[in-house]
Structure 1
């Protein structure tokens, strides 16, 4: 992998193309270009049959330069560094800083390829590519370009977001994440999935920058002593947990509204996850009574208040018989045996 550094001090993970893949791409391009040149030559030979020898020679030289030299320049400029051979081999021509090539880069590369590839049958280009540490030929050196691989195998597990440390789980439940844009979440996720591939100094600076952006959006400073990457992982995990809770709550509400398990004696919306109550708190059903639960039957709020269903109870609550017709008063503790 190439250690190119941009003006923002960001290390680019470019993979320079080596001689075998570049040679195959050049062969494909030469086959296409020479086929086009032969077709153009046949057409010009028919069209210039009435001209003298000097005119025919001038037209042939112009066709040679336009097709064999100008054609690759135009294709490389319009496709931003991807000719037919490079697309087939998964290669692309980029600038030294990783940006797309312009017309001037393609012009220098095309002019030098006339000497490196056409006149010397590729010998000069092969020698220069073997000598260069990044597989560059002379045209790349003069143009300030580099041929890189686009199709790079991704390591297994590289796209998995690391889990936060256990001592940070649930610590940011009160953090306001409504003002954090999706672009910042995407940047945090991409950083967490690739931080092991970055340089240590660059990874540390990127983590601090993302933490500063997150703090500016949430209005709450990061805890002292927490590593930036661990803080980002914990906040991202909290956001994913909230999205999961909202999704499950919406799915449960839609299930109830469709009539699944809804009878004349069921109190609608009695989902502990959706209402914010913990297990055994504030959920009342009147299964088998045929009507709503009276206020006297509601469990008292607090720790250990049970769930009155007529056939069972929640943790720490009273247990009523399934045939009980009168109101059941919840005392909050179990009667003595």
Structure 2
């Protein structure tokens, strides 16, 4: 029961609801990707600050000591707060590290971040990244379902993965014993999220271990059985393949009918009213 609750709460955490209560399936960047992007940004800012300090040492020999200390503090503030805030604000949540891992910082509702979000994240980064060498950020990211660091929690933002792998075509065939069942089966009530999970399992099943394959197919078949009628007397994986094939066929048929309907309406929509000449 606990495992089922955790499995259902994890997708809910990644689910984004629009103003029309439509759920969007967005993918937060993983912990390792976030760590890699943060390290790249951290090294970049350190190199910039080190270069500014070296320039100050080379050209500021005749400056007053108090002025030198003030310039050093200004360089540190620039490299740790001003520069990260400006870059994220100008690129709408992107930076060198996030470009490298294919991620972007967005608000919790999926919108682009503003000055407040970028400034809070940069200000919190002074403590959790620079002063503790990333220790607080690493610990907070491990405890968060979206790999949020402390600055993300304070600003109400997270790192969204934008570089997703290209979908590969899935070749599925209906088992012969399901031919009669497919004529009367109803899979229209199957939720889109569950349908995608079933398709993902069918695609990855050959790479799974036998125990994991049986366990996942049994769990998915149990969830799908509440939305499929009638239930065929076959094993869980064969049932899931049949559901995936039937769902794809009916979705394809619906899209084709919509395309045909639009083709029939195209002459009417493009024509001028009352045979008015096209000038």
Structure 1 equivalent of residue 34 of structure 2: 22
Specify the alignment match of 2:259 in structure 1: 236
Q: Which residue in the other structure is 1:91 paired with?
A: 103
Q: Which residue of 1 aligns with 2:116?
A: 104
Equivalent in the alignment of 1:74: 86
Indicate the residue corresponding to 1:143 in structure 2.
155
- Rounded to whole Å, the distance in 2 between the matches of 1:8 and 1:238 is 26
Q: How does 1:1-337 map to 2 (within 5 A)?
A: 2-157=14-169, 196-197=192-193, 233-239=256-262
Distance 2:164 2:263 in 1: 29
Aligned Cα RMSD in Å?
2.8
Please list every run of at least 4 consecutive aligned residues from structure 1 whose deviation after the TM superposition is greater than 3 angstroms.
195-200, 227-233, 237-243
How far apart in 2 are the matches of 1:49 and 1:89?
A: 41
Which is richer in helix? 2
Tell me the secondary structure at the aligned position of residue 93 of structure 1: strand
Counterpart Cα distance in 2 of 1:70 and 1:105: 13
SS in 2 for 1:12: strand
Greater alpha carbon shift after TM alignment, 45-54 vs 128-137: 45-54
TM-score of the pair, normalised by structure 1: 0.49
Unaligned runs of 5+ in 2: 1-10, 171-190, 197-249, 267-279
Aligned length: 181
Q: Secondary structure at the match of 1:16?
A: coil
Higher relative contact order (CA 8 A, sep 6+): 2
* SS of match in other structure, 2:61: coil
**TM-score normalised by the chain length of structure 2:** 0.59
> How much does 1:196 deviate?
3.9
Deviation for aligned residue 1:142: 0.9
